[in-house]
Amino acid sequence: MTVPTPPRHPRLLPSLWLLRHAAPQIAPGICYGQLDVTVSAVQTQQAAKNFAAVAPQHAIMRSSPLQRCELLALATQALRPDLVLKPADPRLSELDFGRWEGVPWNDIAPRQLDAWAQQLAHYRPGGGENLHAMLQRVAQALAHSWASDSAGGQRHCLWVCHAGTMRCVQWLLQQGLCTTPHSAQWVLPAPGYGQWLRLPWSALR
């Protein structure tokens, strides 16, 4: 396999790159968050190839510990040995849905779904983790990447993570931890499977 030549981005500001894992191999309509579902090796390799072609040189890379992210991080680093892969960070994981994990959404009681929608930030779906707790841990990971991995915004960082994690990062940039989202506000975009989002560190200051 040909190793991609590391691209040069002479005018690209140091950024936080958020790369989403490939599509999970799970039936449609199933609730999964921290359920450690498998992914296609072919799709993961293709996502790694696509991202390796644009990822900045010598960036620090971290991933969620769930295999759908770790495998993509490893595949990307194999194609781009200049990337510095750090240990997986549990703070980058998707929301923990507790007892709902692996359950069809249609089998979850409507009253429970309604309660979650009405109290989005503080309701614990399936007795798992609430959104406020997830925002707190993502904020901690963001602060660590800013201060340590990026050296105060001077270096590119890559997170291989989940749609929920990416939405948390965007919310934190826009609103911080002082404001908790309502359901109508939780419409932040996330890249498709194997796609990415780039946020210049200047936006995080």
Q: What are 52-111's pLDDT values in tens digits?
A: 999 999 999 999 999 999 999 999 999 999 999 999 999 999 999 999 999 999 999 999
pTM of the entire predicted model? 0.93
Mean pLDDT of 20-27: 97
Spatial CA neighbour of 160 closest among 28, 3, 52, 57: 52
pLDDT band at 177 (very low <50, low <70, confident <90, very high): confident
HSE, side-chain direction, 13 A CA sphere, residue 59? 32
Mean pLDDT of 15-41: 97
Write down the architecture of domain 15-204 according to CATH: 3-Layer(aba) Sandwich (3.40)
Q: Give the start-to-end residue ranges of the domains of the chain.
A: 15-204
Contacts 24+ apart (CB under 8 A), 152-156: 153/14, 153/201, 153/202, 153/204, 153/205, 154/14, 154/201, 155/14, 155/58, 155/59, 155/60, 156/14, 156/15, 156/16, 156/17, 156/56, 156/58, 156/59, 156/60
The structure tokens listed for 35 are: 């359920």
Question: Helices 131-144 and 163-174 meet at what angle, rounded to 10?
Answer: 80
Spatial CA neighbour of 14 closest among 137, 198, 181: 198
Spatial CA neighbour of 204 closest among 12, 9, 13, 7: 13
> What's the whole-number average pLDDT of the chain?
94
pLDDT band at 179 (very low <50, low <70, confident <90, very high): confident
